[in-house]
Structure 1
Amino acid sequence: MKTICLYFEIHQIIHLKRYRFFDIGTDHYYYDDYENERSISDIAERSYMPALDAFLEMIKNNGQYFKVAFSISGVGLEQLEMHAPQVISKLQELNETGCVEFLAEPYSHGLSSLVNETTFAEDVKKQAAKMQEYFGKKPTVLRNSSLIYSDDIGGQAAAMGFKGMLTEGAKHVLGWKSPHYVYNCAIAPNLKLLLRDVDLSDDISLRFNNSDWDGYPLFADNYVNRIAALPDNEQVINIFMELSALGIAQPLSSNILDFIKALPHFAKEKGITFSTPTEICLKMNSVGNLDVPDTLSWVDEERDVSSWLGNPMQREAFNKLYSVADRVRIANDPRINLDWDYLQASNNFRFMTTKPSNVGLDRGIYSSPFDAFTNYMNILGDFINRVNSLYPEEIDNDELNSLLTTIKNQGDEIEMKDKEIVRLKAKVEKMQNAEIKLKAKIEKTKSPSTRKTSSKSTAAKAQEKSEDAKPE
């Protein structure tokens, strides 16, 4: 039986402000707050809320039949927390239906998987903790930024304990193979791979409203018929895209949500189900290894990482940023960590691309790739100065790690001693209270005769003293 795995990415670009060379050392705030609030509010109103309302309606109308998955970058979630909390509330409402899965991905939506394994693991761990905090369940499937994947990255994902990972069904990787099967990582067989169907996904996310496209207009029944017509043994149809495709890339006036809402009806008629990524990983066996020695992604025709690292400017910015990755992690300064997350975001490097693209690229405040590079490098220069100023630059990473470990251990020891002092004080207080209660109990249990005798004895002694005091 065929099943559709429908997945949507939620990520928000963090817009940097115009930052000049002379700002280095004097201005440590790098963000355009107005544009960040405006853009996330606009996307929430025109895309996220209408789309999520549609999914909730689809779930209510179809019971447990319709299912959908999301992944949310940590930096995107922070923007939602500040400027569009209604989106988070709606996602939590969807989560309560039991028909939604939330995936893990790098918190920063960055490219650390390409250069620093430890930073990548920490980035994913941080986002997974956020998903568990908001939605009550730790993610079991990983989706890397822009579906970036290679054998080595798959090995890292398996080492982190994930059951599966999403990536692109790129033709140069698949060759004669179909994306409609479950595969596994070549170097970590226990990690299952779900491959995006490029055509079926892009028909919705890129071409739906294009009147010059041969498939225009696209109707839900015809779309489902194409899926049903696939060979019987091709059972997994992975349709992955950004959530902003529904309302931004494809405007609501194109009736994109009506198309989406009609899919369950026609799929059910054809005996096609909907599944979450984890359900597929648990229920379906892999048909074999997928060898991906070189990195792939879901961006541009090449399906590689050249959109972020394809020219010397991008590589210089990338290498300079990650030159301090270990130091940032070791120092673990809250303000530095926040800026680190935002500066890692892949869109910072995408703005510097000189490649032609079949997907429109809005560079925002930047007039050219070089302008984007210059602004980012100015910010990065200030950021790296701040990282190095935390501890003397002559202290290398190993020495710094040792120093901070010693400080942490001393802090832990002091904390343990403080706890022991509190415990002992409580114990002493308890013993004192017990002693007071015991004395009171002893006093209360004395017999009346004893108290009377004692009283008489006291009186006699007083009389004797009185007689002794009389003159001879």
Structure 2
Amino acid sequence: MRTICFYFQVHQPFRLKPYRFFDIGDDHHYWDDFSNKSIMRKVAQKCYLPMNALLLELIHKYNGAFKVSFSMSGVFLDQMQAYAPDVLESFQKLVATGNVELLDETYGHSLVALKSKEAFKETVAKHTKKIQELFNGYTPKVFRNTELIYSDEIGAMIAELGYDATLTEGAKHILGWKSPNYMYTNSIDPNLKVLLKNFQLSDDIAFRFGNKTWADYPLTTDKFVKWISAVPQEEEVINLFMDYETFGEHQWAETGIFDFMRHLPDAVLSRTNFRFSTPSEVVANAKAVGKIHVPIPISWADEERDLTAWLGNDLQDEAFDKLYALESLVKECKDSDIKRDWVYLQTSDHFYYMCTKFFSDGDIHSYFSPYDSPYDAFINYMNVLSDFKLRLKEITTAK
């Protein structure tokens, strides 16, 4: 079996509004509703609606031979319901074809797997329930942790929850001489299959496609098919994992990204011995070649492929620790607003904005951040967290 597995991450955070020290104790609404709605609508018009329409067209055109998979964060699902019901309907149409697989993840697109096994299980269950509600009882069989964060221990937690497989980065420092183009197993529980991103081919589309200074610009379907055809015959699976916002938002329509995707299935199916599969189909049809050992967590972010996009500097670590110090109090609390804010405050983007890697991938971090600096992001977040803590203590003390 030679197959290509397309996976798209779909996520939008609930961004915080500017929140001053003087707002603490007075203003309990933290979210920038105008910004969140306007960004969601903008990305819907540029990416979600046209790309969903294109994928639906391709699935029908090739009679089900073209397949893709998505993981949609719970915070994205909430925003679709609130701001873009038309986008939700278009995703529902895709899933109804039977050629689109949905993956589970943490509801809040959080880093909770690094902190609390119990809270991790709870947020995953919440996400499963939301997927079932919105997609006619659909129950995911494959898991994708936030930003492909994975380790042996995290894999074992995922296996405990009963998933067949998980996705992660084919990081060089983990693979060594091995290829990402095989299926592996978790080193603690071999029942969990592990699919690894081919970062070279994935990033050619996601990051380099519109870069006119790139030596291989422009990327055409002919060129891409030539590259995948050069993959050794014994290597079975090419996993192309990327942000869904690649299409139309990160790579604008003017770059030709939609035309590239429109013509890619035909080029692959007619000129190579590859087909397209969902992650579950890869698990069912491919044979695992061995265990993958990941003792220290990896991710798909930045050159380092580690956790330093979200954790590691003093700002990030203090915010992260202060947040999860409130976990036991939140568990006692039954207030629905507190529960909602707790989920949204865990979203990894808040910590990403605090990253101080100015020289390593600094431009990418700046592109996604609504703040002038990581320090502004930290101050704003900690002000909000201070108010959240006050509310929490008030409610739990009053019981």
The alignment's TM-score, normalised by the length of structure 2, stands at 0.96
Give matches, 1:233-272, under 5 Å. Answer: 233-269=234-270, 270-272=272-274
Match of 1:413 in 2: none
Match of 1:273 in 2: 275
Q: Does 1:28 align with 2:28?
A: yes
Match of 2:393 in 1: 388
- 1:324 and 1:28 map into 2 onto residues whose CA distance is 17
Deviations 1:174-197 (A, max 9, x none): 000000000000011100000000
Match of 1:140 in 2: 141
The alpha-carbon deviation at position 366 of structure 1 amounts to 1.9
- 1:153 and 1:325 map into 2 onto residues whose CA distance is 19
The alpha-carbon deviation at position 333 of structure 1 amounts to 2.5
Q: 1:325 to 1:260 in 2, by over 3 A?
A: same
Q: 1:82 to 1:363 in 2, by over 3 A?
A: same
Deviations 1:400-424 (A, max 9, x none): 9xxxxxxxxxxxxxxxxxxxxxxxx
Q: Does 1:291 align with 2:293?
A: yes
Give matches, 1:146-295, under 5 Å. Answer: 146-269=147-270, 270-295=272-297
Identical-pair percentage: 46
Match of 2:379 in 1: 374
Q: 1:225 to 1:364 in 2, by over 3 A?
A: closer
- 1:53 and 1:121 map into 2 onto residues whose CA distance is 34
Does the Cα contact within 8 Å between 2:353 and 2:365 map onto a contact in 1? Answer: no
Match of 1:74 in 2: 74
The residue type paired with residue 169 of structure 1 is G
- 2:368 and 2:242 map into 1 onto residues whose CA distance is 21
The alpha-carbon deviation at position 297 of structure 1 amounts to 0.2
Figure out how many residues of one structure are paired with residues of the other and give that number: 394
Does the Cα contact within 8 Å between 2:352 and 2:365 map onto a contact in 1? Answer: no
Deviations 1:330-379 (A, max 9, x none): 32421111101110010100111101316353365422111110010000
The residue type paired with residue 185 of structure 2 is N
SS of structure 1 residue aligned to 2:118: helix
The residue type paired with residue 369 of structure 1 is P
Does the Cα contact within 8 Å between 2:169 and 2:300 map onto a contact in 1? Answer: yes
Match of 1:2 in 2: 2
SS of structure 1 residue aligned to 2:345: helix
The residue type paired with residue 174 of structure 2 is V
- 1:329 and 1:124 map into 2 onto residues whose CA distance is 16
Unaligned runs of 5+ in 1: 394-399, 401-472
Give matches, 1:298-313, under 5 Å. Answer: 298-313=300-315
SS of structure 2 residue aligned to 1:267: helix
Q: Which runs of structure 1 show a deviation greater than 6 angstroms over 4 or more consecutive aligned residues?
A: none
- 2:347 and 2:341 map into 1 onto residues whose CA distance is 10
Match of 2:114 in 1: 114
Greater C-alpha radius of gyration = 1
The alpha-carbon deviation at position 388 of structure 1 amounts to 1.7
The alpha-carbon deviation at position 131 of structure 1 amounts to 1.1
Does the Cα contact within 8 Å between 2:183 and 2:288 map onto a contact in 1? Answer: yes
Does the Cα contact within 8 Å between 1:119 and 1:329 map onto a contact in 2? Answer: no
- 1:361 and 1:106 map into 2 onto residues whose CA distance is 25
Deviations 1:430-469 (A, max 9, x none): xxxxxxxxxxxxxxxxxxxxxxxxxxxxxxxxxxxxxxxx
The alpha-carbon deviation at position 392 of structure 1 amounts to 2.5
Give matches, 1:42-57, under 5 Å. Answer: 42-57=42-57
Deviations 1:26-85 (A, max 9, x none): 111001111011100000001111111110110011011000001100011111111111
The alpha-carbon deviation at position 262 of structure 1 amounts to 1.1
Does the Cα contact within 8 Å between 1:146 and 1:299 map onto a contact in 2? Answer: yes
- 1:361 and 1:58 map into 2 onto residues whose CA distance is 35
The alpha-carbon deviation at position 137 of structure 1 amounts to 1.4
- 2:183 and 2:253 map into 1 onto residues whose CA distance is 33
Does the Cα contact within 8 Å between 2:329 and 2:396 map onto a contact in 1? Answer: no
Higher helix proportion (structure 1 or 2)? 1
Match of 2:85 in 1: 85
The alpha-carbon deviation at position 222 of structure 1 amounts to 1.6
Q: RMSD in angstroms over aligned alpha carbons?
A: 1.3
Does the Cα contact within 8 Å between 2:25 and 2:387 map onto a contact in 1? Answer: yes
Unaligned runs of 5+ in 2: none
Give matches, 1:422-441, under 5 Å. Answer: none
The alignment's TM-score, normalised by the length of structure 1, stands at 0.82
SS of structure 2 residue aligned to 1:102: strand
- 1:367 and 1:109 map into 2 onto residues whose CA distance is 23
The residue type paired with residue 59 of structure 2 is I
**The 10-residue stretch of structure 1 (13-22 or 184-193) with the greater mean CA deviation from structure 2:** 13-22
SS of structure 1 residue aligned to 2:240: strand
The alpha-carbon deviation at position 134 of structure 1 amounts to 1.6
Does the Cα contact within 8 Å between 1:40 and 1:79 map onto a contact in 2? Answer: yes
Does the Cα contact within 8 Å between 1:104 and 1:127 map onto a contact in 2? Answer: yes
Among 316, 319, 328, the residue aligned to 1:317: 319
